[in-house]
């Protein structure tokens, strides 16, 4: 009996910046035969303070860029873009899409013991009500307390994860959620897992949920159902375990800070695989 068809094209992933690399790492760990083409729209972040119309326009442009790379599916590794743009993108483009909200909501609903779940995210993600809707669709009796945290993404993009300022901002945002009695907290932005250690140190009794590994599992299922799994055509290995060629990263505005933090997230050298979109398009 012949083997199942394989599709060695890359998985496309986009985010407003580097946060979606947390999702990329989880995917590469779970699906080591896959390749990722990642686009970080660093010139226009953060998305969370933009209008829905602007978020949709940026997302459409990101999708077109990735489609130009002949990707086989697209993961929207941005909670804001998932909440605002996913339904329209799925209608507009003939390619499978996966967002990050449903997976995170599923895990949080299964983790909570007291039914009180906190959600932190960008202003636009929280205003959309997407997490509340996803959680209550699973259990209408859940109590959901949401909080917009607009300062967290800039702190992370500046590399201030271990800075005392990050601790103070985290306490300012999350103390009211702790006082409300939450036992589970959804990190509703793919940047926020980079602050998970800081948050756990402040609130060790709260279970943290990020959508990276849940989304990777959902992607694995989608690839299998659609017969899009890769046969693993790339070869060689990088020193920290990522297969050579496993990920290529494009950004709309390159910075040394992004490069350094990306290597920290992926735990691997990225020399030679980060490109400026403008330089590529104009070169």
Domain boundary among 146, 181, 210: 210
Q: Pick the residue with more confidence: 267 or 59?
A: 59
- Distance in angstroms (rounded) separating the CA atoms of residues 166 and 170: 6
Verify that 23 and 63 share a domain, yes or no: yes
**Residue 4 covered by a domain:** no
**What are the tens digits of pLDDT across the range 35-56?**
999 999 999 999 999 999 999 9
Is residue 128 in some structural domain?
Answer: yes
Range of the domain at 253: 11-99+213-282
How much of the chain, in percent, has pLDDT values that exceed 90? 81
- Are 204 and 267 members of one domain? no
Rounded to whole angstroms, what are the CA distances from 47 to 35, 59, 154, 249? 26, 10, 11, 19
My answer on whether 217 and 95 are in the same domain is yes
* Same domain assignment for residues 72 and 162: no
Residue 277 near residue 254, CB atoms below 8 Å: no
| Weakest mean pLDDT among 30-39, 111-120, 165-174, 267-276 | 267-276
pLDDT at 278 over 90: no
Domain limit, last residue, from 185, 210, 235: 210
More confident residue, 59 or 275: 59
Does residue 2 fall inside a structural domain? no
Boundary of a domain, candidates 152, 184, 210:
210
How close are the terminal C-alpha atoms of the chain, in Å? 47
* Residues 217 and 176 occupy one common structural domain: no
Same domain for 142 and 240, yes or no, is no
Do 56 and 49 form a contact (C-beta atoms < 8 A)? no
Provide the CATH number for the domain around residue 180: 3.40.50.1860
* Stretch 257-263: mean pLDDT: 91
Whether residues 203 and 113 share a domain: the answer is: yes
pLDDT at 6: 85
Whether the pTM exceeds 0.75: the reply is: yes
Rounded mean pLDDT of 52-79? 97
Summarised one tens digit per residue, pLDDT across range 210-242 is 989 899 999 999 999 999 999 765 444 444 456
Q: What would the mean pLDDT of 82-98 be, rounded to a whole number? A: 97
pLDDT score at 268: 86
What mean pLDDT value characterizes the chain?
91
Calpha distance 188→78 (Å, rounded): 9
Hey, is 176 helix, strand or coil? helix
Active site residues: 78, 189
Are the beta carbons of 148 and 215 closer than 8 angstroms?
A: no
pLDDT (0 to 100) of residue 236: 40
- pLDDT of 108 over the 60 cut: yes
- Distances from the Cα of 163 to the Cαs of 137, 150, 156, in angstroms? 38, 17, 10
State the angle between helix axes of 212-225 and 21-30 in degrees (0 to 180), rounded to the nearest 10.
50
Q: For residues 37 and 250, is the Cβ–Cβ distance under 8 A?
A: yes
- pLDDT of res. 241: 55
Q: Is the pLDDT of residue 97 over 70?
A: yes
Q: Are residues 177 and 105 in the same domain?
A: yes
Do 30 and 127 lie in one domain? The reply is no
Give a three-class secondary structure readout of 186-243: EEECCCHHHHHHHHHHHCCCCEEECCHHHHHHHHHHHHHHCCCCCCCCCCCECCCCCE
**Which tens digits make up the pLDDT trace of 161-194?**
999 999 999 999 999 999 999 999 999 999 999 9
User: Are 144 and 69 contained in the same domain?
Assistant: no
Is there a single domain that holds both residue 40 and residue 76?
A: yes
Q: Domain check: are 199 and 119 in the same one?
A: yes
138, part of any domain: yes
Does residue 1 belong to any structural domain of this protein? no
Number of domains the chain contains: 2
């Amino acid at each position: 009996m012949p083997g199942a068809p394989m599709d060695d094209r890359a998985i496309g992933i986009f985010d407003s910046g580097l946060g979606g690399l947390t999702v990329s790492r989880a995917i590469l760990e779970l699906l080591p035969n896959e390749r990722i083409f990642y686009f970080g729209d660093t010139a226009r972040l953060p998305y969370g303070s933009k209008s829905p119309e602007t978020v949709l326009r940026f997302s459409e442009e990101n999708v077109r860029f990735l489609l130009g790379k002949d990707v086989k599916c697209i993961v929207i590794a941005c909670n804001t873009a998932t909440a605002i743009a996913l339904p329209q993108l799925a209608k507009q483009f003939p390619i499978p899409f996966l967002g990050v909200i449903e997976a995170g909501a599923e895990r949080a609903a299964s983790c909570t013991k007291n039914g009180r779940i906190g959600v932190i995210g960008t202003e636009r993600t929280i205003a959309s009500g997407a997490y509340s809707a996803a959680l209550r669709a699973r259990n209408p009796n859940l109590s959901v307390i949401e909080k917009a945290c607009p300062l967290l993404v800039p702190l992370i993009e500046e590399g201030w994860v271990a800075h005392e300022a990050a601790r103070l901002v985290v306490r300012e945002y999350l103390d009211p959620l702790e006082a409300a009695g939450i036992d589970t907290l959804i990190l509703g932005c793919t940047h926020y897992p980079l602050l998970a250690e800081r948050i756990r140190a402040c609130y060790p009794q709260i279970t943290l949920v990020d959508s990276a590994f849940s989304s990777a599992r959902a992607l694995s299922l989608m690839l299998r159902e659609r017969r899009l799994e890769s046969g693993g055509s790339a070869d060689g290995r990088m020193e920290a375990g990522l297969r050579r060629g496993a990920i290529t990263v494009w950004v709309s505005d390159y910075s040394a800070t992004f490069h350094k933090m990306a290597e920290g997230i992926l735990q691997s050298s990225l020399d030679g695989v980060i490109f400026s979109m403008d330089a590529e398009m104009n070169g």
